[in-house]
Structure 1
Amino acid sequence: MVRKLKFHERKLLKKVDFISWKSDSNVREARILRRYHIQRRDDYTKYNKLSGMVKSLANKIKELDPKDPYRNQVTTQLLEKLYSMSLIPTRKSLALCEKVNTSHFCRRRLPVVMVKLHMAQRVSDASKFVEQGRILSLLPCR
């Protein structure tokens, strides 16, 4: 059993951030988690993996012969998919796929979109609305 912390110990622990340690080099991760108000770190790691997959797929497509019809087909499919997800601004070049990062996925979350549409003032307020069930996503229910 752990003893109860004394007053001065609690005051000192308020100033310590256990999420972002400089030695862990996850300062960028903590900043993104805080900016987009993501409660679960698993979501961030999933977005990070997705962005890594998109970048590696774009690099593999670039390695194919430029005259290959399969390359053109796959490039068009990838650009169309990323454009429809609003991760890239245009469908013009494969270079845009290499610039997709975790923040692009975080910007597509419902609370962030609500702030862009002026339905809430802050991302934290919007995420509270979503958590409380006041705002429902328009995804089809199965």
Structure 2
Amino acid sequence: MRKLKYHEQKLLKKVNFYDWKRTNNVREVKVLRKYVIQNREDYTKYNKICGYITKLVSKLRLLPENDEFRIKMTDELLDKLYDMGLINYKSSLAECEKIT
């Protein structure tokens, strides 16, 4: 790759390609303003984690209710989410589905 010219370097100083902002982010901006979140990366990471949790809950629901693996994973998931403060009760997987 060739070396950038002076004016190209000046223009690219203000652009961060690793954290490129999307154009369709109206909902994201509303959430950032509502909850006074300073860093957009924090919200995107939290959003991904919520997606992973709901995906895991849907996979666990496909297993039979008396399956040992389902019971063990459900207990571990409920404990972790309760300790992180994302759910209020360790009652069932229904609590985990409400995470948004």
Aligned to 2:18: none
Q: CA deviation at 1:84?
A: 1.0
* Whole-angstrom CA distance in 1 between matches of 2:48 and 2:71: 25
Aligned to 1:40: 39
Alignment of 1:114-125 (within 5 A): none
* Whole-angstrom CA distance in 2 between matches of 1:91 and 1:46: 24
Q: CA deviation at 1:36?
A: 2.0
Q: CA deviation at 1:95?
A: 1.1
RMSD over aligned CA atoms reads 1.7
Unaligned runs of 5+ in 2: 1-6, 8-20
Unaligned runs of 5+ in 1: 2-18, 102-142
SS in 2 for 1:29: helix
Alignment of 1:1-142 (within 5 A): 24=24, 26-101=25-100
Q: Provide the aligned length of Structure 1 versus Structure 2.
A: 80
User: What TM-score do the two structures reach when normalised by structure 1?
Assistant: 0.52
Aligned to 1:136: none
Q: CA deviation at 1:59?
A: 0.6
Q: CA deviation at 1:66?
A: 1.1
Runs of 4+ in 1 over 2 A off after TM superposition: none
* Whole-angstrom CA distance in 1 between matches of 2:31 and 2:53: 19
* Whole-angstrom CA distance in 2 between matches of 1:39 and 1:66: 42
